[in-house]
Chain A
Amino acid sequence: MIAVDSNAMIPCKQRIAIVIAMSASLVLFALPGRGDDASSPEQHFPAFRLGAFADIVLAHPDKQGKVDYESGELDVYTSAQLNNNWSVLGEGLVQHAGSSENADLEPKSDLEFNLERLYIAYEASDRLRVEFGQIHTGIVQWNEREHRSRFLQTPIDVPSIANRESQGGAWPLHFTGAWASGRVPGSLGVIYGAGVGAARGSERDNIQPFYRRGTSPAALFSVGVAPDSLTGFEAGAAGYAGRIRVQGQKTLRELDSTVYSSFVRGGIELRGEWAHMVHSEVGGDADFVTRGWYLLGSWRPPGRWKPFRPYLFIDHLHVAAGERYLSDVHNQNAWAAGVRWDVNSRLALKGDFRTQLFAAPHREGLFRLEVALAF
């Protein structure tokens, strides 16, 4: 993470806003592309692609005396299909840091530049794909599915268990190493993943592959099913084992597990995930247990109302008391209700009310508006 001083904030914010506004104009006024020419049907390599997601969130507290705040993200990714089997992908995130993914953190006035993913992948078949480099761990299914794009997700919020490490997230979402995954043929729709590599370091919020300190080996796996007999249903589990070396503290042994399920069919979207993290002192007696879960329900009506998707989102996180490594991660007990409006396939507006059920020092309620774009 590279933080920019707040004095440089205003021009940076303006630049981001201008870029997003210009891009929005392009998206709104550009004619939709249609690939209806039958020429050049063969595949050509290398094939490059550059894309981005951007969003701005404006929030207004429901009580007098609180200040409005805003946040924004620009997530740029590029990929190249080098040949039939090899590909590379890179993703970087520019963020107006603070509370964009966690309405209960105090806003800051700085920018972050993070390398999210950078890997080379070999895929000989759908049964086996191997990625080498900086990847997302997949220990939290939300993170595996949405990565950093907030355009693709229905609600404004990212669940607390899927918060990025630098935004108050507790779970290890980034990982440097090798990850093998694939799909087992058959009507059960089994998918699997397994990986080994360098786990997070002594600083919980430092995810950069070349600047992390105190990394240690870690392993993770995941398995899921999506049976043909129940179109749209998916369920699975994931596990992560690693160590955390913190200067001046006993080494922690980390063991994480998650279970998820979703049903997405027609206009219905139901998602839920439960996550459990145990940090045990090596050579000590202390065990720190952190738990979190979320539920998301949304519905896209048919006909003329289909651009709208009302949703309800419940988010819960209980951080182990007394664990210093997670000392700046906050408990959550919140819900949000709102509507997503897909203006077109590249622009979405979301509005919701989010309330935090915990008492001080957190905000109690926020009215929010998000403008999210895909390029």
Chain B
Amino acid sequence: MNVRRSTVAAILFLVAIAAGAAEPSPATTVSFFVSARGADRSRNLSEGDLRRIFLGEISRWPNGHRIVLYIRPFDSAAGRLFLDRLIRMSDIDYAQWWLGAVFRGRAAAAPRVMATPDSMSKAVAANADAIGFDSQTPDAELLVLTIDGRAPSDPRYPIRAR
């Protein structure tokens, strides 16, 4: 009996290791942030408006400047959580959405993809009109947004893995 239990436990352990190796550790939340140079604008957005921003339906900040969008790759943990919890589209549909937005004349260009957390932080920090996201806490040059009044540390924060 003990041998059987040990065997089952070993198999489960190996499966857990294999699963962990195959998939990067999933992000629990995605933080959205803007440059500290854009500190004149609100640090809170509704989930609906945030979705519209990343769909290009809201294209300007309240000061009239065009919003510059940066996203993480869809195969990153942050990118997957962004699509699943905020955009609610597959990566294929999101890419085609932006093809359509540019074609309709409603957007000048699709969001730029930032391959690493470091390049994302630098890109957003350097542009007062930019917004980006990541699963890692950004550095001090960036302002983390609250969504519907909730910070990423809040258990009721909407862009969170369930």
Q: Is B116 an interface residue (CB 8 A)?
A: yes
Q: Is B151 an interface residue (CB 8 A)?
A: no
Q: Hey, which chain B residues are within 8 Å of A89, CB to CB?
A: 105
Q: Which among A36, A117, A306 has the greatest number of chain B C-beta atoms within 10 A?
A: A36
The complex places the Cα of A151 from the Cα of B109 at a distance, in Å, of 18
Report whether A231 and B88 are in contact in the complex, using a CB–CB cutoff of 8 Å: yes
Q: How large is the interface on B (under 10, 10 to 19, 20 to 34, 35 or more residues)?
A: 35 or more
Chain A window 72-91, contacts with chain B (Cβ cutoff 8 Å), 1 for yes, 0 for no = 00000101010010010100
Binding site for A on B (CB under 8 A): 46-48, 51-52, 57-60, 64-66, 68, 73, 88-90, 92-93, 95-96, 99-100, 102-105, 108-109, 112-116, 119, 122-123, 126-127, 129-130
Report whether B92 and A306 are in contact in the complex, using a CB–CB cutoff of 8 Å: yes
Q: Hey, which chain A residues are within 8 Å of B104, CB to CB?
A: 145, 147
The complex places the Cα of A146 from the Cα of B68 at a distance, in Å, of 24
For window 2-50 of A, CB contacts with B under 8 Å fall at 34-38, 41-43, 47, 49
Listed stretches A121-129, A244-252, A315-323; interface member: A121-129
Q: Hey, which chain A residues are within 8 Å of B119, CB to CB?
A: 36-38
Report whether A126 and B58 are in contact in the complex, using a CB–CB cutoff of 8 Å: yes
For window 156-197 of A, CB contacts with B under 8 Å fall at 183, 187, 189
The complex places the Cα of A265 from the Cα of B87 at a distance, in Å, of 9
Residue from the list A38, A84, A187 in contact with B126, Cβ < 8 A: A38
The complex places the Cα of A152 from the Cα of B97 at a distance, in Å, of 8
Residue from the list A41, A189, A228 in contact with B47, Cβ < 8 A: A228
9 more A-B contacts (CB under 8 A) besides A117-B105, A152-B96?
A37-B119, A38-B119, A79-B102, A125-B60, A125-B64, A267-B90, A302-B90, A306-B92, A374-B99
Report whether A42 and B115 are in contact in the complex, using a CB–CB cutoff of 8 Å: no
The complex places the Cα of A267 from the Cα of B73 at a distance, in Å, of 20
The complex places the Cα of A267 from the Cα of B89 at a distance, in Å, of 7
Q: Hey, which chain B residues are within 8 Å of A36, CB to CB?
A: 112-116, 119
From A121, which residue of chain B is reached at the shortest CB distance? B105
Asked if A41 meets B127 with Cβ closer than 8 Å, knowing A34-B115, A300-B90, A345-B95, the reply is yes
Interface pairs (22), CB distance under 8 Å:
A34-B115, A35-B112, A36-B119, A38-B119, A41-B126, A41-B130, A43-B68, A43-B129, A49-B102, A79-B102, A121-B105, A126-B60, A131-B105, A147-B104, A189-B48, A231-B51, A231-B88, A264-B89, A265-B89, A302-B90, A307-B92, A342-B96
Q: Hey, which chain A residues are within 8 Å of B109, CB to CB?
A: 47, 49
For window 254-269 of A, CB contacts with B under 8 Å fall at 264-267
Name the distance in Å between B57's Cβ and chain A's nearest Cβ: 7
Report whether B99 and A41 are in contact in the complex, using a CB–CB cutoff of 8 Å: no
Q: Which among B64, B66, B73, B93 has the greatest number of chain A C-beta atoms within 10 A?
A: B93
Report whether A126 and B46 are in contact in the complex, using a CB–CB cutoff of 8 Å: no
Q: Is A141 an interface residue (CB 8 A)?
A: no
Report whether A87 and B108 are in contact in the complex, using a CB–CB cutoff of 8 Å: yes
The complex places the Cα of A149 from the Cα of B105 at a distance, in Å, of 13
Chain A window 294-327, contacts with chain B (Cβ cutoff 8 Å), 1 for yes, 0 for no = 0000001010001100000000000000000000
Report whether A183 and B108 are in contact in the complex, using a CB–CB cutoff of 8 Å: no
Q: Is A217 an interface residue (CB 8 A)?
A: no
Q: Is A236 an interface residue (CB 8 A)?
A: no
The complex places the Cα of A81 from the Cα of B104 at a distance, in Å, of 13
Q: Is A232 an interface residue (CB 8 A)?
A: yes
The complex places the Cα of A145 from the Cα of B99 at a distance, in Å, of 12
Name the distance in Å between B102's Cβ and chain A's nearest Cβ: 7
The complex places the Cα of A53 from the Cα of B104 at a distance, in Å, of 13
For window 133-153 of A, CB contacts with B under 8 Å fall at 145-147, 149, 151-152
